[in-house]
Amino acid sequence: MNPIKYRGRLAPSPTGFLHLGHAKTFWVAQQRARAAGGELILRNEDLDAARCQPEFVAAMIEDLRWFGFKWSEGPDSGGPFAPYNQSERFSFYRTALEKLRAGNFIYPCSCSRKDIQQSASAPHAGDDELIYPGTCRERGYKLSVESCKLGVRENELAASNQQPATKISWRFRVPDGETISFGDKNFGEQRFVAGKDFGDFVVWRPDDVPAYQLACMVDDAAMQITEVVRGADLLVSTARQILLYRALGLMPPDFYHCALILDESGQRLAKRHDALSLRQLRAAGKTPDFLRENK
């Protein structure tokens, strides 16, 4: 018997209305929490200010309730690990960033690349981070997290005799060639090779926003989540996050990845955002019972 009580989480991002693809994965999370007699937590992953909107948060909570979700801790109900909005948890992420820097696990990067802009959101199929060529890896900038807090400008760097940069992001230096393996509770043994299947990834953006990989992992640890249920398109992200747990001296939770749900034509449900938003399905007269059983 595992003496630790199961704690699962729903971690939606309010970048639009929830769609059936999310709900199906979340439903697995709720079923697993129930089967284990555990708790389910709702965390609002609203880091990407450009894409997350307050009206989507209210809609998200309403849609989740309508579908039949029940959580014991969350932004609406509070709980022992509050706040449950990521936008209010920056101090946790900063502390983790400082630990990673002190342990020399990360380095500042002045490259401006698409993956940096996208890194506040979870990389779902087709938009995963490219393998970083390592341009800034060996540059040896000696900057404190504090000096990069609000981004570092060229003249400040020039004054401190460092290489000029515009604004700085922070990347995690992956152990090239090492196989990161974990036993997925659904798919079994998973293996990803650092430097080949994924490269040095962004943990902090130049606009002073933590990346999804860091924020998600820091919160799962801080909220004492025992099992993360998420879509199979995040398998590689799980490997990245396992490296972060290790660097921070923390035990990773268990992972259960759900197969991506495809429609009749083989397209990912998540791609057909509008037609399959819970709102529209509800307006079209579909019931939660029906939606849980059918595509």
Q: Is residue 13 within the footprint of ligand GLU (CB under 6 A)?
A: yes
**153/230 Cα distance (integer angstroms):** 38
In a 10 Å sphere around its CB, with 0-12 CB exposed, 13-18 middle and 19+ buried, how is residue 79 labelled? middle
Rounded least distance, CB 38 to ligand GLU, Å: 17
Which amino acid, 59?
A
- For ligand GLU, which stretch binds (CB under 6 A), given 5-13, 97-105, 192-200, 249-257? 5-13
Among 136, 168, 211, 216, binds ligand GLU (CB under 6 A): 216
Cα–Cα–Cα angle for 78, 288, 281, rounded to 5 degrees: 105
Among 122, 214, 218, 223, binds ligand GLU (CB under 6 A): 122
Q: Which is nearer to ligand GLU, 12 or 108 (CB)?
A: 12
- For ligand GLU, which stretch binds (CB under 6 A), given 11-19, 89-97, 132-140, 193-201? 11-19
**98/83 Cα distance (integer angstroms):** 21
Rounded least distance, CB 212 to ligand GLU, Å: 7
Rounded least distance, CB 290 to ligand GLU, Å: 24
CB 33 within 8 A of CB 40: yes
Q: Where are the alpha helices (DSSP H) in the chain?
A: 20-35, 54-67, 90-102, 114-118, 154-159, 212-222, 235-247, 278-283, 288-293
Tell which positions 155-214 bind ligand GLU, by CB under 6 A.
none
Using CB under 6 A as the binding criterion, the count of chain residues that bind ligand GLU stands at: 8
Q: Is residue 7 within the footprint of ligand GLU (CB under 6 A)?
A: no
Among 12, 74, 210, 252, binds ligand GLU (CB under 6 A): 12
Among 230, 253, 258, 276, binds ligand GLU (CB under 6 A): 230
Q: Is residue 123 within the footprint of ligand GLU (CB under 6 A)?
A: no
Give Dmax over CA atoms of the chain in angstroms: 65
CB 63 within 8 A of CB 17: yes
Backbone angles phi, psi at 228, to 5 degrees: -100, 120
Specify the pairing of strand 169-172 against strand 106-109. Answer: antiparallel
- Paired tokens of 43: 């965390």
Among 6, 7, 11, 214, binds ligand GLU (CB under 6 A): 11
Q: Which residues on neighbouring strands pair with residue 108, listed in sequence order?
A: 170
Q: Which is nearer to ligand GLU, 52 or 97 (CB)?
A: 52
CB 129 within 8 A of CB 115: yes
Per-residue x/- mask for ligand GLU, residues 33 to 72, rule CB under 6 A? ------------x---------------------------
- Where does this chain bind ligand GLU (CB under 6 A)? 11-13, 45, 122, 216, 230, 234
